[in-house]
Structure 1
Amino acid sequence: MRKFATILMLIPFLLFCAHNSHAAEKEERKWQDESMYFIMVDRFMNGDKENDYEVDTDDPAAYHGGDLQGIIDQLDYIEELGFTSIWLTPIMENEEKGYHGYWIEDFMEVEEHFGTMEDAKKLVEEAHDRDIKVIFDFVVNHTGSQHSWLDDEEKDDWFHEEQSIMGDDQQRLEDGWLSGLPDLNTENPEVKQYLFDAAEFWIEETGVDGFRLDTVKHVPKEFWSEFNDHVKSVDEDFFLLGEVWSDDPTYIADYESTGIDSFVDYPYYNAATETFKASDGSLTSLSNVWQRNKEYYEEPYLLGNFIDNHDNKRFTRVAGKENENPVTRWKLALTHMFTAPGFPITYYGSEVPLDGGEDPDNRKMMNFKGGDEQLEQRIEKLNSMRDEFPALTRGDYEELYNEDGMSVYKREFEDEIMVIAINNASGTRSTDLTDLPDDHQMRGLLEDGVVRQSNDGVYKLGMARETSDVFVVEEDQGFNWLFIGFVGGILLLFVIAVVWISLKNKRGA
């Protein structure tokens, strides 16, 4: 009888779960569907103590012990957060104190502090086993300042003459020595071929899925066009994510002609940081970023949105200087970054959230024990939504409301409609929405609320201060009396069964 009672108790919950399931049709994953986790290798996880020479965790400019094995050990953590791809800072052999990876000494060797080539292969393989893609940071603009080629007379023409970068003169940008680092002469056929060979080496040796291209604007477009052709002759699906550090979307978009697939979106970063660092910031600048992207880029949905990275102050620090609660600010910023057109790039530690000022303070060791549960859950939910609802990754964008610190926008793909509401204001905000289907409801996926259409055809949406929600627009379920009646009947049977057992036990006493 106890087994029967247990079954009766489980049935309503099983039916409730089935009633609320959403079966989205899955298509082959595109890069715009990705959610990327960005890792500075040395500052993430120390998985192999045997390569810990010259490690000094008290020196922010020294190696701290993070390595490829540490990332392998944390792939389950990354997968649990819902990320579908990872981007690593350069893993090539670097000069002394090149913990960040950008002072390359050998373009075809793994830095000893990070592990071995076998570790690099294993990382890609283990990630692929979890359906996680991997991209490596790839540098072609410069070498480390003490590179042996500088003393090789036969390689005198492998570098541009030493000169500083001044202003926005494009020739100086391309030929000057960035931060005093020797600038490679990529117009030289030998240099060009060497870099092509290095790219091909990493693709064939590791099976990596793409490169993040460092300092793109400091290298001539002609090189990038040929580089693109070469790597895609090796792997036609290979992905190239370019870094063109500029506030001007027209300047960045001009590099799209080289074949580079995507770019980290600095105009988005600037607008998002300014908008969400404090309450009451208008979201108009973010809407303007998208309108410009749609006009200037052939593939605007492929841009990488970010709010934190290794070259700028941590967003936690920026919000803290405004005397704001960083967790509250992060939750709003993340909601926008994960639901706006483009794909999100989350810098390691944003989920903690790590604090940090200018480089290298923004590159502190990851803290796996101090994570914020609210932020981790927010990231998990947002990643789950992107996976379940194609409208959030492929849908068009339409602003429905934007006033007094609150913005509401719609993403629509085929017959699927999502509505995102972000109240960045310090007070409650509300609006009437009319540009939605009749006889439907908006079901919140973050706050679990439901907004139904009123008799006059309006969806009355109210949002508490500094909150956000992502709504799926679906047919109005109303009250499912058949379902409620069935559940009620099951509960009634359960009560009767409990009474019957109680009476039977008393009679037997």
Structure 2
Amino acid sequence: MMKKLIAFITLLLLSSILLPVQAEEKDTWEDEMIYFIMIDRFHNGNTSNDFEVDMNDPRAFHGGDIQGIIDKLDYIKDMGFTAIWLTPIVNNESKGYHGYWTEDFYEVEEHFGTLDEFKTLVQEAHDREIKIILDLVVNHTGYQHPWLQESEKQDWFHEDLPITNWDNQENVENGRLAGLPDLAQENPETRKYLLDMAKWWIEETDIDGYRLDTVKHVPKDFWEEFSKEVKSVKEDFFLIGEVWHNDPTYVADYAETGIDSFVDYPFFNEATRIFSKSDQEIGKYMEVVWKRNQNLYDNPYLLGNFIDNHDNKRFARLAIEKEQDPVTQLKQALTYMYTAPGIPIVYYGTEIAMDGGEDPDNRRMMEFEDHELVSYIASLSDIRKNYPALWKGDLEVLLDQNGMTIVKRTYEGDSLIIAINHTTSDQTVTFTHEQLKADLQLRPILENTTIIDDSDGYEISIPKETSEIYLVEEATKQTNAQLWIIVAAVVFVVGSITIYLFKKRKQN
């Protein structure tokens, strides 16, 4: 009888430990956190492919390669990232260090490594539960692509005309962007080649998604077929498109093509404007964006939020130009990006407050250092991973006053409060017991700021230009640490009883 009782208690303990893990089902992409790498400018892991490297020329190859990324996978994982977006890896013409001047769609750029090395990267990333998103260009080729010299492929390209009217969609789709030869996707042969190529990379390397370059320069009917074709190869394959436009409605129109997500330029425009300088209103914008995206998209949680990328001045430069401390402003912006609805995308170098002006200055070689932003991003990632309210919860602005903003994110009864003090003075806010309900309390989980609990409610103090995230929980709710102490105590008691009974039986 005693053996059965002990077995039952043991099974009960195991169930209590395992059930919470099994109960939380992982969504496909809403909870991802993406690290964006320009391959040539990240890390040089193999010096044998360093021909034509010139560190003094910002438009030349600098030596970053696939092996360099493999070497730094643990660094990326330790910051909490669950996916990596890579600039194009296909073979490029001379000085195509960035990957956007394709010379051969089926070959890996020799400066970056080999196809086998890339397959190893994908496998090593998957072993660490990190997904790989590959940048794909189907709008144009490099300036000197061999097809341009082949008479039978002249109709694979549009006429050599520049884009002169950005409000004319036909001109935007058929004109040459920056003079690059513009592919004619309406040509059945060209279309088939591009579709077959896109499917080949998935089948050959097991990548998890494409970041689609220059989406608005390619007809929508092509993207409709493209989306169906690539997902016929891998059902959960992720497509995030670049529609570089300031009008949210224009961007959202491309969601009808089957593209899952978009890098959110409207978000970027406002976030960089607001956070590159203190004393800017935040909450009103957050609420407007959230409601707008809810109306525009079937799943607004899939939009890619970013404050830095390879085509614009770095955020640190924007802060410096406004005579602000870039690290302070980056912490604020990153907190906002990680707690707003959408997938956070961090451009390499942001974690060290890398400076950089217009292209190509915003593509400097990465420097690895023990920077405070590295651990700050890791903390934000850990919070976002553990609290689904941040990646699929509703949003409510509780306070928005002269740069002091308090936002509530709620999902299935669980709530987090995000307090962003974007002012140049310390702020104190009081939550009454009526606001939180008598059985609820706030627990800081980011910076461990001060909370005073008195008869009136909870008074929180946020130092100037800092942020805090609070968990709203039951006043008597046990923390994970407390639960483990209880489990350990029960196991100890059960073990002691077992030993006692064993000794007694032996004596008898």
The TM-score with structure 1 as length reference comes to 0.87
- Residue 313 of structure 1 aligns with an amino acid whose one-letter code is K
Does 1:28 find its partner at 2:22? no
Mapped partners of 2:244, 2:117: distance in 1:
31
**Residues 309-329 of structure 1: CA distance to partner in whole angstroms, max 9, x if unpaired?**
000000010001111111100
Residue of structure 2 in register with 1:227 after alignment: 226
| Structure 2 counterparts to residues 145-160 of structure 1, below 5 A | 145-160=143-158
Which AA in structure 1 matches 2:57? D
SS at the partner of 1:38?
Answer: strand
Q: What SS class does the counterpart of residue 331 from structure 1 fall into?
A: helix
Secondary structure of residue in 1 paired with 2:95: coil
Quick check: 1:441–1:451 contact (8 Å CA) kept in 2? no
For the Cα contact (< 8 Å) 1:228–1:258, is it kept in 2?
Answer: yes
After TM superposition, give the deviation of residue 450 of structure 1 in Å: 6.0
Q: Which residue of 2 aligns with 1:502?
A: none
Matches within 5 A, 1:9-88: 26-88=24-86
Question: Is the CA contact (8 Å cut-off) linking 1:438 and 1:453 kept in structure 2?
Answer: no
- Between the aligned partners of 1:23 and 1:222, the Cα distance in structure 2 is 42
**2:82 is the alignment partner of 1:118:** no
- Alignment match, 1:109: 107
Distance 1:335 1:309 in 2: 17
Q: Which residue of 2 aligns with 1:292?
A: 292
The residue type equivalent to 1:275 in the other structure is I
Separation of aligned partners in 2, 1:348 and 1:479: 38
* Aligned position for 1:322: 322
Q: Report the alpha carbon displacement of residue 79 of structure 1 after superposing the two structures with TM.
A: 0.6
Q: Structure 2 CA distance, aligned partners of 1:230 and 1:212? A: 16
User: Match for residue 384 of structure 1?
Assistant: 382
Could you give the per-residue CA deviations for residues 382-434 of structure 1, whole angstroms, max 9, x where no partner exists? 10011111111111111111111011111111131111000101112233345
User: What are the superposed Cα offsets for residues 53-80 of structure 1, whole Å, 9 maximum, x if unpaired?
Assistant: 0000110000000000000000010011
Contact 1:43 1:65 in 2 (8 A): yes
Q: Secondary structure at the match of 2:470?
A: strand
Instruction: Answer whether contact 1:241 1:263 (CA < 8 A) is retained.
Output: yes
SS in 1 for 2:55: coil
Deviation at 1:99, TM superposition (A): 0.1
Contact 1:103 1:144 in 2 (8 A): yes
Q: Which residue in the other structure is 1:244 paired with?
A: 243
For residues 263-295 of structure 1, the C-alpha deviation after alignment (integer angstroms, 9 at most, x for no partner) is: 000011011101111110111333322221112
Matches within 5 A, 1:227-376: 227-283=226-282, 284-369=284-369, 371-372=370-371, 374-376=372-374
Report if aligned partners of 2:287, 2:396 keep a CA contact under 8 Å in 1: no
Q: CA deviation at 1:48?
A: 0.6
- Using the TM superposition, give the Cα deviation of residue 223 of structure 1 relative to its aligned residue in structure 2, in angstroms: 0.3
State the partner residue of 1:170: 169
Gaps of 5+ in 1: 1-21, 487-509
1:253 and 1:154, CA in 2 relative to 1: closer, same or farther beyond 3 A? same
Report the AA paired with residue 266 of structure 1.
Y
Shift of 1:298: 1.3
- Name the CA distance, whole Å, in 2 between partners of 1:295 and 1:358: 34
In structure 1, the residue matched to 2:399 is 401
1:162 to partner: Cα distance: 1.1
CA–CA distance in structure 2, aligned partners of residues 25 and 334 of structure 1? 30
Secondary structure of the 2:142 match is: coil
Inter-CA distance 226–427: structure 2 relative to 1 (3 Å threshold): same
CA contact (8 A) 1:443 1:449 kept: no
Is contact 2:449-2:468 (8 Å) kept? no
| Whole-angstrom distance in 1 between the partners of 2:79 and 2:244 | 28
Instruction: Read off the aligned partner of 2:45 and give its amino acid letter.
Output: G
1:97 alignment partner, SS class: coil
Q: Return the alpha-carbon distance in structure 2 between the equivalents of residues 309 and 193 of structure 1.
A: 31
Secondary structure at the counterpart of residue 323 of structure 2: coil
2:190 — aligned with what? 191
- Alpha-carbon distance in 1 for matches of 2:427, 2:161: 55
1:66 partner letter: G
Q: Which residue of 1 aligns with 2:419?
A: 421
For the residues of structure 1 that align with 2:393 and 2:361, how far apart are their CA atoms?
38
Q: Distance in 2 between matches of 1:302 and 1:154?
A: 42
Deviation at 1:23, TM superposition (A): 7.9
Distance 1:293 1:354 in 2: 30
Q: Is the 8 A contact 2:34 2:84 kept in 1?
A: yes
User: What amino acid is the match of 2:336?
Assistant: H
Which string of whole-angstrom CA distances, capped at 9 and with x for unpartnered residues, describes residues 6-36 of structure 1?
A: xxxxxxxxxxxxxxxx989532242110000
On the 8 A contact 1:271/1:286 being kept in 2, the answer is no
1:454 positional shift? 4.7
Which residue of structure 1 aligns with residue 141 of structure 2? 143
1:207 aligns with 2:197: no
Alpha-carbon spacing, 1:344–1:317, altered in 2? closer, same or farther (3 Å): same
Q: 1:360 to 1:376 in 2, by over 3 A?
A: same
Residue 216 of structure 1 corresponds to 215
SS of 1:381's equivalent in the other structure is: helix
Q: Distance in 1 between matches of 2:94 and 2:412?
A: 54
1:357 to partner: Cα distance: 0.1
Is the Cα contact below 8 Å between 2:287 and 2:395 reproduced in 1? Answer: no
Q: TM-score, normalised by structure 2?
A: 0.87
Paired residues, number: 458
Kindly indicate whether the alpha-carbon contact (under 8 Å) linking 1:441 and 1:450 is maintained by their aligned counterparts in 2: no
Q: Helix, strand or coil: the match of 1:32?
A: coil
Equivalent-residue separation in structure 2 for 1:24 and 1:429 (angstroms): 41
Give the Cα–Cα distance (whole angstroms) in 2 for the partners of residues 218 and 209 of structure 1: 24
- Which letter maps to 1:80? D
- With 277-286 and 233-242 compared, the bigger mean Cα shift is at 277-286
Note the alpha carbon deviations across 1:114-148, whole angstroms, 9 max, x for none: 00000110000000000000000000000001111
- What runs of 5+ residues in structure 2 fail to find an aligned partner? 1-19, 486-508
Q: Provide the C-alpha distance between the structure 2 equivalents of 1:109 and 1:436, rounded to a whole number of angstroms.
A: 59
Once the 2 structures are TM-superposed, how far is the Cα of residue 477 of structure 1 from its aligned partner?
A: 4.4
Q: In the alignment, is the contact (CA less than 8 A) between 2:281 and 2:402 conserved in 1? A: yes
